Structure 1
Amino acid sequence: MDHCIYTIDTGFVRPRFDAAYLLVENGRAAFIDCGTNYAVPRMLEALGATGLAASDVDWLILTHVHLDHAGGAGELMAQLPNARLVVHPRGARHMIDPSQLWAGASAVYGEEVMDTTYGRLRPIAAGRVVEAPDGHVVQLAGRPLLCLDTPGHARHHLCVYDERAKVCFTGDTFGLSYREFDTAGGAFILPTTSPVQFDPDALHASIRRLVALKPAAMYLTHYDRVEQVARLADDLHEQIDAMVSLAQSAQDNSANAEQRHEAMKVALADLYLSRAHAHGWNGNRAALLEILGMDVELNAQGLGIWLDSRQSR
């Protein structure tokens, strides 16, 4: 805990995979991201552990509306009588009417998996939704939380700069850093290019913008607080370029989309294993894929969609 910032493990997928955050200031509270419906009891339990009640929460701020970050927003808001939801203008309509989010994800995973993994998405009354364009400031009992438009992972992504604590809450813009890869050299990090709006130029720019604030730390949804911000940013920039390059190579050397996808998965695993070993992590490829297998799959999917979007222009 630092500056009354509390990390909440939402329980999604596995321990220490998906985080939400609770900020407390002068008896008032804000959540940043919330996980799925199944995380709501954990969110309320964390709030209660600080001695606060649901009525003391003023804000739920979403970095973006991907379901591992925002799937439980409607259910949580139903438990918070005085809270308003803050979201990027491009994401607001999906919180007011989540039917399109549900339909899109269900088309990929099926309704049974969606029910089991996320729970039914609950709409939020439009009057409780605050759109946060670039530069919007959320006031938490006099503590300013600056919302920054940070595309690259998604066009509806915002990050939150907490000036009091000198930290950023970065959603997926500042990548993924799982504690299993920590070494004496610190945290290991990689970008997330998961579907469907990866834009490498925008992501580079968003990372540079966050670093320019000179934050003491970044709070990632996947997972928790990381320091050594300048080093990690350099690592992200290098890997974005490497991932773009390997995607283009797979495009040039594959006969079809399926072959391209498999080639990218192999190349991504090779990239992450090489960099993890250089960082001082001693696990093998199987151990790496046990932790990163889903991210490798999603990153390959996102790179494939990015390649296809470039061809269609």
Structure 2
Amino acid sequence: MMRSQGSNPRVAADISSKAGAGLKGEHVADILATSPDIGFFEVHAENYMGAGGVPHRQLEAVRREYPISLHGVGLSIGADGPLDKEHLARLKELNQRYEPGLFSEHLAWSTHDTTYFNDLLPVPYDEPTLARVCEHIDEVQTVVGRRMLLENPSTYVAFEQSTMTELEFLRQIVARTGCGLLLDVNNVHVSCVNHQNSATDYLDAFPIEHVGELHLGGHAPDEDDAGRPLLIDAHDRAVDEAVWQLYERVLERTGPLPTLIEWDNDVPAWPVLLQEAEAANEIINRVAQKEERLAG
């Protein structure tokens, strides 16, 4: 277990099949004062890559009370070039320091040479990209020394060079690397609306046996140049009702799983975020009770 200032955390690193929330610095005092009944907290790895300071003191305090999930957003798994060795070393150090119950990254790229972009950019689904992504995931899992989860992206354009579907691409990655999957239900809804596909068909075909965590978040409605609906994965508002319905559909296939509420922009007061997590827990409990009735 991680040790901080000579103390052991009260809880194991394992994350139960309950809802959690993204940890924000402005919420830490409320969290520690009220000890909410919440499954876990998730942090973006890049926010804790310094050696110390306030972010680490806050995370250490929360880690003593709750399990955490470590979610990377800057490794650039899909980049057409080698992984940043220093970044990867810092990811390893964070995993060793905090022993998160889950560790995940995005199927995306965000770097080119020495340029770093603020967005998580999509990749084409073809054999050369598949080989490169699998090579990078193998490297991550070897260096960090643990299995990682890979998150499905939210997309706005499709590549003409793609030779397989996103689901085929994800299945091949899992088969070749042994990694798990992080299923972001909001990303599915956003992508399927943007590409005029069926989110239910996508989710019904998703390889749920490899899913270790679910994500929920808010999206911003817009429209494209032709006046068609366009959704932006904004993480700046409550979970949409359509996404809640898809989430329950997923849980009916997977059973209860750790579920994160993402709210990274226009972050509300802590009680609002907690209410979203409680709403997810209500659905988790409803599905679990249904399973028990069917089993009985």
TM-score (norm 1): 0.30
TM-score (norm 2): 0.31
Of structures 1 and 2, the one scoring higher in RCO (CA 8 A, sep 6+) is 2
